[in-house]
A and B are shown apart, each in its own frame.
Chain A
């Protein structure tokens, strides 16, 4: 795992078919110095995850044709597992693991920042 990262070196991939959610999230994170790629489409998102190796993937848990579990599986199949933050319309505790955290919609931006800050500060185990 890399050591401490500053936000501007951290890359996040946002995957959400909901334009309002996707655009606002990307803008907010960019305004805080994160590098952000945002896509609506799931397969495009997975391809980018493989090619760009983002530190964090922030994804809607119900991207059409795909539930949160399948997304996590597909990401894991493409190499080192990024930190995954699933945005869930219902409690997603069942999906959580060492690499996966769920935030219930409407999400608490403070909680999202904490997760990303912890990731930027160093290894996930910390």
Chain B
């Protein structure tokens, strides 16, 4: 490509469009600035290379060539979409124009980079899919509550009938009813937790003292701690203000606390410590126990992963969900003799702000 060939073509460099001038073999002679920016290849390096190799690798070359032949000045062919070498998605139109003043150039390829539009579309579709799935799951879990309620009430009725009997032979039946009731209540808890994980819910951000939320979570966890013979304590600190959805943060901290209480209950050191710290542009909540700890490769944040008998495996998935919704993160750290879960939240409310 000579400088003479580029002279007078400044106008095509100023466009957002990709413009290539090709000879009858599809060899590049003109390569505008947007083409350089897109491919990372300079016009001097692009000159002499095959347009097909650069912009439509792996595509059917004969198909493109056939389009080139159909192209006329008054009737451009296309659109033709292809992924170029760096995986950007380009929509091309071809136009024959062999009366120009650039020697050898008979065909012009004009392209628009659709990558960002495509990515946005993919994100929109993904969100739509998640919302649709969430609504479906939400509908199902609500429907399931009707038969669960019927079953539990019937069991309560049976329990009352048996309680009136003086016959000791009914004792196993009464125990069976109690077991069945516990299992049905477990399904109900599972549905509640599952909904939190799968259903996209808008978060309501308000400036809150995260320390006060942690205190509330500790109050909620106290009966469980007492029953397990575990002591729970919030370490002294100053207030930590952040824009958060208070009830969901309280739920997340409660989930972390409940896990820590379970771990502490199985260990010699029956103490769980909670810390809240202001970190400049973030607030961190740490929950520490001295139980057996977790294997480093365990998929603990995956829904339904659990190490506990009777666990739903949704507790940490809930925490992850709450962290994600706040633009924060949840982190697990195994220190010698201590397991620490750390929930970090941006003070501005992150993604939702």
Is the C-beta of B145 less than 8 angstroms from some C-beta in chain A?
yes
Partner of A18, one of B142, B150, B184, B188: B150
Q: Is A19 an interface residue (CB 8 A)?
A: yes
| Contact partner, A24, options B143, B150, B184, Cβ 8 Å | B150
Query: Taking CB as reference atom, which chain A residue is nearest B155?
Result: A24
Residue of A nearest to B164 (CB): A31
Q: How large is the interface on B (under 10, 10 to 19, 20 to 34, 35 or more residues)?
A: 10 to 19
Interface size on A, residues (CB 8 A): 20
Interface positions, chain B 129-157, Cβ under 8 Å from A, are: 142-143, 145-154, 156-157
Give the distance to chain A from B281, nearest Cβ to Cβ, in Å: 34
Residues of B within 8 Å of A25, CB to CB, are 153
Task: Give the docked Cα–Cα distance between A91 and B239 (Å).
Answer: 32
User: When the two chains form their complex, are residues B157 and A89 in contact, meaning their CB atoms are under 8 A apart?
Assistant: no
Residue of B nearest to A24 (CB): B153
Report if A24-B157 is in contact (Cβ < 8 Å); known contacts: A106-B152, A106-B185: yes
Contacts of B147 in A (CB 8 A): 18, 20
At the interface, yes or no: A5 with Cβ under 8 Å from chain B? no
A70 interface residue per 8 A CB criterion: no
B149 to chain A, nearest CB (A): 4
Closest residue of A by beta carbon distance from B144: A89
B160 at the interface (CB under 8 A from A): yes
A57 CA to B150 CA, complexed, in Å: 18
* A4: Cβ under 8 A from any B Cβ: no
Which of chain B's residues has its CB closest to A19's CB? B150
Instruction: Name A residues whose Cβ lies closer than 8 Å to a Cβ of B.
Output: 18-21, 23-25, 27-28, 31, 60, 62, 87, 89-90, 104-107, 109
Instruction: Give 18 A-B contacts (CB < 8 Å), ordered by A residue.
Output: A18-B146, A18-B147, A19-B150, A20-B151, A23-B154, A24-B150, A24-B156, A24-B157, A28-B157, A28-B160, A62-B146, A89-B142, A90-B142, A90-B145, A104-B145, A106-B149, A107-B153, A109-B156
Given contacts A19-B150, A89-B143, 16 further A-B contacts (CB under 8 A): A18-B150, A21-B146, A24-B153, A24-B156, A24-B157, A28-B157, A60-B146, A89-B142, A90-B142, A90-B145, A105-B145, A105-B149, A106-B145, A106-B148, A107-B152, A109-B153
